[in-house]
Amino acid sequence: MGEIPVLEVNGRKLTQTAPILLQLAAQYEKFGAINDEETYELLRWLFWDNQKLSGEMATYRFLRTFTPQSDPAVLAWHLARVKDFLGILEQHLGATPFVACGRLTIADMSMCAYLSYPEDETGIDLTASYPNIAAWLDRLAQVPGWKSPYELLPGKRLQKWVA
């Protein structure tokens, strides 16, 4: 598919975030669904996140911060979509502490990823504009073992094209 992430387990290469997370949840019997209704809820949010929230946050961050001379009209189009999707998540998290099933699941893990990069990369002040999302990210950061993206990712950083 020409994409990262790729997780290699015993010589088998797993790709695509959502099925990787589902596989890990099943393997470790943690952070997954315990019945059909929860499975539906997790899949619903994982699909939405892949297509909408993380899909658009990732594209916007890359174009805004790590691409020289991005077209301002294209950036504005992506930012409008990012704001739409953050608005949906903000409303949802006003009514529940975690994304699905009332507890920490792989849906939270999928959705927090691109929201956990520094503000100078995402270009979005979550605390000011999306307080429920900011509070949810704080809750996730309290979970034992949680690490920020740059604590986890080794290697050289990309050049930034915005201040």
Ligand X SMILES: N[C@@H](CCC(=O)N[C@@H](CS)C(=O)NCC(=O)O)C(=O)O
Q: Report, in Å, the least distance between residue 2 CB and ligand X.
A: 6
Nearest in space to 81 (alpha carbons), one of 109, 108, 58, 112: 58
Choice from 16, 67, 70, 132 touching ligand X (CB under 6 A): 16
Classify the phi-psi angles of 126: left when phi > 0, otherwise alpha if psi is within -120 to 50, otherwise beta.
alpha
DSSP assignment of 7-41: EEETTEEEESHHHHHHHHHHHHT-SS-SSHHHHHH
Binding-site size for ligand X (CB under 6 A) equals 8
3-state secondary structure of 6: strand
**Residue 29 contacts ligand X per CB under 6 A:** no
Which of 2-10, 73-81, 121-129, 152-160 is the region at the interface with ligand X (rule: CB under 6 A)? 2-10
Binding positions for ligand X, 38-97, rule CB under 6 A:
50, 58
Chain positions contacting ligand X, by CB under 6 A: 2-5, 16-17, 50, 58
